[in-house]
Structure 1
């Protein structure tokens, strides 16, 4: 059964081995877990619904409302674990057709009720929470029953799905027909097609299949003023592309009900391979070269030295890893300096073999040591387990969170160093220790995404632990802004990143976005406070757009 206060199925558990715990304690100190609230006590805190004239599709059941109150950000996690989840939606509903959604939006407009679209509940940026400033009743619309493959045009390789379909169900329906979408975000187990589109998601093999914007061909979105239909034309020069209006809209314009996506025949072969580099710079330069030469592998990832060493310890098997380290040392890769890269090869057997051969040739040119597929098989086996590790860490008294950005190649290393240093400086100011490491997860000819993880001890209570997270979030976000990176490469904006968006979009860009929202949602009922912050918050956030020059210099100099 799905957990009410964390990630995924409660039958899945991946214990923290003794070597991993000892390693973490050596980096951040002894840890002591905080007490978790039980389900019954949390349920008692759900207030009476404020809806006086309910729609027939609505449920005001306390458990339904509790299970839809939070996403998966660390702030959400702390709220669930403490048992203080509020504010809650006043009702939840599960439409089964586009017509149901249309009627619900019309009813919400008439009743002056706000609406939160809900896919898989996997948001790590506050997309699905009811904010404390909401005075009107709130209804969460769960799209999970709209999950069928409605059509597959094999000649054009276009599949039409209900937007509530989750990753495993989507791939299973396509696999039965010999196809794949190939979109595998880390949240794949629970996240949905509509959510991927609404937040501009990126999957682990985006290098082959593209990000969701390359896959999204058209579809339908129900808005408060009507249905927006987008035909699946391969390409056009007929004005602005309406797909771009829907992509990244985060529920502010309407609810995606049907999505037409570009699919690919299922690959004959797929494998993942490990390569070690003596240092970060050689690995960085190799991935840049592969990306700019457009060698057709399916995935490229590069862990920095700290992530490489951390993952080798956290993975366990110290004796096997000891042998690997000795071999790598003989080849010039020393612990604390070496970096591991993962390379995917997907397609026909001959195509995958040729692509991998070309990539390995480049790796060797930059001093890489190819160690074959065993490490890749281990990564593939655990590729969707990482969200469960948060449970393992939490039970041992450790909190773990991530943040990410994307910059051009000339700025990748400096930005990575600046982001990590910002977290370390924030920890020092609080008098705590932090373990921080980074990898490049999505490579482009122009640049790369940068994905940073940090681990710290929980505090003596929940409020202090939350404050630690807020300090880390502020420091990392300001570092990203100072380095000219996007505030989010793959997690969207939601509430958590909204105050930093003006720094990226500019005053005119924010006005365009706000005008689009006001046009499509004149009553202001759609997902309030997400993506584009309320006016007061946005005015305050203009300070972020032009961070004090002295502070910018201080941040940049940490690299």
Structure 2
């Protein structure tokens, strides 16, 4: 089996982990803000052999049908495979699997090689009145991969890992046909060999797939330039009960309600995405990410808004609030020599300007294209940054950002091993409501920490800018108290999510609905909107065989 998976108990692959040994400021920082001692002995997860893995309910008839389609090698029911495919990587998922709270896990994992085999597997599942859950990279944090706890039917996890090829590139149109199981690094390597890029780089890039991005409406770090996955995806092929849905890769069409849009964000409820035709771009001649400082978050957000309304077209516009900026500083390695002197000199300049360094905010802005284009964009942005009181601090911070951008999820596992619960929630809203929403979320999170009687920390960055608004991405952490950690997590997570809704934000900007956010769906899209989705799902999947319970009941 050539398909590789993440570790069963956390993010990423075995042997890769976060360490604070070379970050002297981090342990004191964490001790101060959440009262957790990073130097204490960690509490790693139990050995896999200690897990109480339920017996597979796969019956002989369905096993034989699946084996006839795929061959015995690709019909797998080992405990490890079944546990790996039972969850995504949300904090709730990790707490449950580490506590051996496995409930209803897949009875079998299948690895089809092509669309024809996927159709045959789906036919067999429907004939057996079983449940089929598509699986890409397993990075989901919204509960989109788990089987319903009370599901009595057989559960089949369909792993798309063997469908990992870039099938063709239409160079004249800038379109590529790519199989849905291709992980971010695989598809970028294949595109890059021919001088192209998709330009889609979510935090989960290393361990997430094209099909997963489409099924959850993913956004990437450079979506200001390339668009989110909904903009990038031009056509789809989807295996459904009774046939295969296919749309055409045309730039615009007037053919009634958009079938393509119906599949985007559908989380496996409307079929298995097997292939997509996506926009690709020539790899840019020049790419640079620069760091900037702003006196405070409000002026930084105003600058991002001004950039979005201007002729400037950067690929990244990101600003951290003061709390996240202080966390970023705490994760730096020891500065030596010239870098240390430059840092001290810069701090002296800022103090001379009257900056409150505890309110200072770090921003990253990226540029891509020809050298002439990058130069012009940098000049346009420099003027806007200066008008809002900001300064450029060069390419050093941006280079560090590029190196570390996919490592953040490892920090959550590191903290969990040491008794801290940490997770993320993100939303989007219009510019006029952005800062009031930010204030409300911080207020509600701090109220939740007080309710639990714990010392907590919430921080935020603006990560994607649009003409009318932006995405705010919140990270929260607190020390686990005595009692049920999931119940404690729910108090904080619910407070943050409810604040989104109360302040006219959406329940999620790019992490999807799944089961984690479903209770807020009617507040977000209205009860008739929920009914519309329910009707669509019931028409395509009347037997509720396709990933039941996600988005809507």
Show the counterpart of 2:545.
Answer: 525
The 8 Å contact of residues 426 and 509 in structure 2, kept in 1 or not, is answered as yes
Q: Distance in 2 between matches of 1:20 and 1:322?
A: 19
Match runs of 1:138-149 below 5 Å: 138-149=155-166
> What pairs up with 1:43-82 in 2 under 5 angstroms?
44-53=52-61, 54=63, 55-56=66-67, 57=70, 58-82=75-99
Q: Which whole-Å deviations, capped at 9, do the CAs of 1:506-546 have from their partners, x for residues lacking one?
A: 121111111110111111101111011x2xxxxxxxxxxxx
1:411 corresponds in structure 2 to 433
Partner of 2:476: 454
Structure 1 residue 106 corresponds to structure 2 residue 123: yes
TM-aligned CA distance change 1:355 to 1:423, over 3 Å: same
2:57 is the alignment partner of 1:37: no
Alignment-derived partner of residue 27 in structure 1: 33
Q: Distance in 2 between matches of 1:316 and 1:399?
A: 24
State whether structure 2 residue 322 is matched by structure 1 residue 331: no
**Secondary structure at 2:278 match in 1:** strand
Task: Name the structure 2 match of 1:193.
Answer: 210
Q: Name the structure 2 match of 1:545.
A: none
Shift of 1:9: 1.6
SS at match of 1:261: strand
1:380 alignment partner in structure 2: 402
Q: Kindly indicate whether the alpha-carbon contact (under 8 Å) linking 1:277 and 1:333 is maintained by their aligned counterparts in 2.
A: no
CA contact (8 A) 2:25 2:332 kept: no
Q: TM-score, normalised by structure 1?
A: 0.92
Q: CA deviation at 1:322?
A: 4.9
Q: Secondary structure at the match of 1:473?
A: helix
8 A Cα contact 1:270 1:346, kept in partner: yes
Kindly indicate whether residue 265 of structure 2 is the aligned counterpart of residue 261 of structure 1. Answer: no
Kept in 1, the 8 Å contact 2:177–2:275? The answer is yes
Take 2:457 and 2:30, find their aligned partners in 1: how far apart are those partners? 8
Using the TM superposition, name which of 312-321 and 118-127 deviates more. Answer: 312-321
Q: Runs of 5+ in structure 1 lacking a partner?
A: 535-559
Please give the secondary structure, in 2, of the residue aligned with 1:451. Answer: strand
SS state at 2:465 partner: coil
SS of corresponding position for 2:365: strand
Instruction: Give matches, 1:495-534, under 5 Å.
Output: 495-532=515-552, 534=553
The residue aligned with 1:538 is none
Deviates more, 1:387-396 or 1:435-444: 387-396
Q: Could you report, residue by residue, the CA deviation over 1:440-459 in whole angstroms, capped at 9, with x for unpaired residues?
A: 00011100101000111123
Q: Distance in 2 between matches of 1:225 and 1:298?
A: 42
Q: Using the alignment, how far apart are the partners of 2:382 and 2:97 within structure 1?
A: 46
2:215 and 2:356 map into 1 onto residues whose CA distance is: 43
Deviations 1:324-362 (A, max 9, x none): 433332333322111111100111111111111111111
Aligned residue number for residue 7 of structure 2: 3
CA distance in 1, matches of 2:414, 2:303: 34
- Confirm whether residue 357 of structure 1 aligns to residue 379 of structure 2: yes
Is the contact between residue 36 and residue 418 of structure 2 (CA under 8 Å) also seen in structure 1?
Answer: no
- Counterpart mapping for 1:151-166 below 5 A: 151-166=168-183
Kept in 2, the 8 Å contact 1:199–1:492? The answer is yes
Q: Structure 1: how far apart are the matches of 2:414 and 2:77?
A: 33
Gaps of 5+ in 2: none
Paired residues, number: 530
* Cα RMSD (Å): 1.5
Whether the 8 Å contact between 2:456 and 2:478 is mirrored in structure 1 is yes
1:442 aligned counterpart, secondary structure: strand
Q: Take 2:386 and 2:204, find their aligned partners in 1: how far apart are those partners?
A: 33
2:19 aligns with: 15
How much does 1:3 deviate?
1.7
Conserved? CA contact 2:239–2:272, under 8 Å: yes
Q: Could you tell me which residue of structure 1 aligns to residue 509 of structure 2? A: 489
- Secondary structure of 1:189's partner? helix
More displaced stretch, 130-139 vs 186-195: 130-139
CA distance in 2, matches of 1:505, 1:182: 29
Q: In the TM superposition, what is the alpha-carbon distance from 1:18 to its structure 2 partner?
A: 4.1
Matched, 1:370 2:370: no
TM-score, with structure 2 as normaliser: 0.93
CA distance in 2, matches of 1:500, 1:294: 37
Equivalent-residue separation in structure 2 for 1:515 and 1:225 (angstroms): 18
Q: Flag the 1:491–1:246 CA change in 2: closer, same or farther, 3 A.
A: same
Q: 1:389 Cα deviation (Å)?
A: 1.3
Moved more, 315-324 or 146-155: 315-324
> CA contact under 8 A between 2:421 and 2:489: conserved in structure 1?
no
